[in-house]
Chains A and B, each alone.
Chain A
Amino acid sequence: MGLTDLMSMAKPNMDARENFLSKLSSREFVNCFQCLKCTSGCTALKLLELKPHEIVKLVNLGFVDELASSDIIWTCVTCLKCVQRCPQKASPYHIIMVLRNMAVEKEAQIPEEYLKTVSRILETGLAEAPQEVTTRKMEVFDRKSLNLPKITFPRESFQVAFMKIMEEK
């Protein structure tokens, strides 16, 4: 959902803010002084109107639930420029990642490709399946015909461990 719509009825929730703080270990987002260095260099600003300084401000004011339900948090390209450039170590990228985790937890609508990836990793250990590649001359190759070594996929004990940590509260 759009953040503007979500915000029209929103009330600040300081408990949610506390909960958020506990998940953001060793980051100092409360020190953000709204200098806009993050937003002025943000890759997703021009593209999809992501304004990282606004996200930081809204978290600080207690609008965590609204952000976690919004679709804006899924526009970050993870270029890490805001982490690098923030003079206050507030790091909007890390804040956005915590918000995404919260969105998953509360089963908000998220781009489905992320959840599909979880299942793929669970099945094979890898996020993607080996593909055939068609060349510019329309020849088709795969790992075998390129003489690349066979992929060794992780055994079942990996699945058990991965499930455990995925299901943990």
Chain B
Amino acid sequence: MKLAVFWGCRILTSQYAYEMSVREVFKKLNVELVDLSEANCCGDPIKSVKDSAANYLANRVLAIANATGLDGLLVPCNRCHFTISEAKDVMSKDKNLNKKIESLLKEEGLAYNSHIKIWHVIDFLHNFVGLDSIKKTAQKPLNGLRLATHVGCQIIRYSDLGRVDDAENPRKLDELVEALGAKTVDYAEKLDCCGAALMYGHPNSALSLAGAKIKALQNLGVDGLVISCPDCGLMFDFRQKDAAATVGAKTSLPVIYYTQLLGLALNIEMEKLGLHLNQSPVEQLLMKIST
């Protein structure tokens, strides 16, 4: 199995642990990832500035993926996944914009292809690889752990677009965690947003959103929070201290990418999974796994 992969900006420029763990885990699962060459930003931040330009950027990514000749594209960032999915939808509905974008792509010798299947890590592992096969390959079960999941906003909404999981009751990430032997908890704040998109204009409010969620999870006494989006990683892991401070809390909640957790279960070395890069105290969680 071969897949093209589009990392977007945030993973490539700071959320290295996600990139490393995806690379390692997919290798172990015999999926070859082909990096796009000369890819650009997916267009998400430009949506607020000029919608047509954002659609151009997203569709340029698809055109570059098309150039690989592969028919599947892995997009591990929630925000990129949404932006590209919506841009693809707009291309099929807005004939004028479609023409404009196709001619701009042509100037660069690129061609748009609407048939490329867009995967996120979550649905690729859940729907394509499958829970059974993940259970079988996991050599080191994570029994005894009690974890919370945060699936994020943009891979589950809005359903008309065809998303990765149910908008109001997403279960796939929980099931993937449970396939490794750990338990997951249901909690009231599960669908609350991490706030990353507000970092541009209202950083303190953004951090307080993340802080409120981390505080609630800390009170629940879970062993850690499992995520699968680099924006959520930025807010809950990288900025956890600042986020907690905005709600007057001190927290020490391990935050880990699902692919890091899966990597541990697949017996991949911690360094290779970038576990030294998480800013939250993941050693608390790692201790519970090794004992």
**Chain A residues close to B by CB (< 8 Å):** 25-26, 43-44, 47-48, 74-81, 83-84, 97-98, 100-101, 104, 110-111, 113-115, 117-118, 121, 125-131, 133, 135-137, 139, 141, 143, 146, 148-149, 151-155, 157-158, 160-162, 164-166, 168
Contact = CB atoms under 8 A, between A and B. Distances in A.
A113 B245 CA distance: 23
A84 B16 CA distance: 32
A113 B49 contact: no
A47 B210 CA distance: 12
B157 A79 contact: yes
Interface residues of B, number: 64
Contacts, number: 173
Given A113-B200, A161-B107, A126 B40 contact: yes
Interface in B144-165: 153-154, 157-159
Contacts of A110: 48
Top-4 shortest CB links A-B: A111-B201, A80-B157, A113-B200, A125-B40
Contacts of A113: 199-201
Interface of B: 9-10, 12-14, 16, 19-20, 35, 37-41, 44-53, 56-57, 60, 82, 93-94, 100-101, 104-105, 107-108, 153-154, 157-159, 167-168, 191-193, 195, 197-202, 205-206, 208-209, 274, 276-279, 281, 283
B56 A161 contact: yes
A50 B100 CA distance: 35
Given A114-B48, A127-B41, A151 B12 contact: yes
A137 B283 CA distance: 12
Contact of B48 (A101, A161, A165): A101
B48 A100 contact: yes
Given A101-B51, A143-B12, 20 more contacts: A75-B201, A78-B153, A78-B154, A80-B154, A80-B158, A83-B157, A84-B159, A114-B200, A121-B40, A126-B9, A126-B13, A127-B9, A127-B41, A128-B10, A136-B278, A153-B38, A155-B38, A161-B107, A161-B108, A165-B52
Contacts of B51: 97-98, 101
Contacts of B57: 121, 162
Contacts of A101: 48-51
A126 B41 contact: yes
Contacts of B44: 127
Contact of A115 (B13, B38, B49, B279): B49
A136 B107 contact: no
Given A121-B46, A166-B53, A47 B157 contact: no
B274 A79 contact: no
B104 A164 contact: yes
B20 A117 contact: no
A158 B63 CA distance: 12
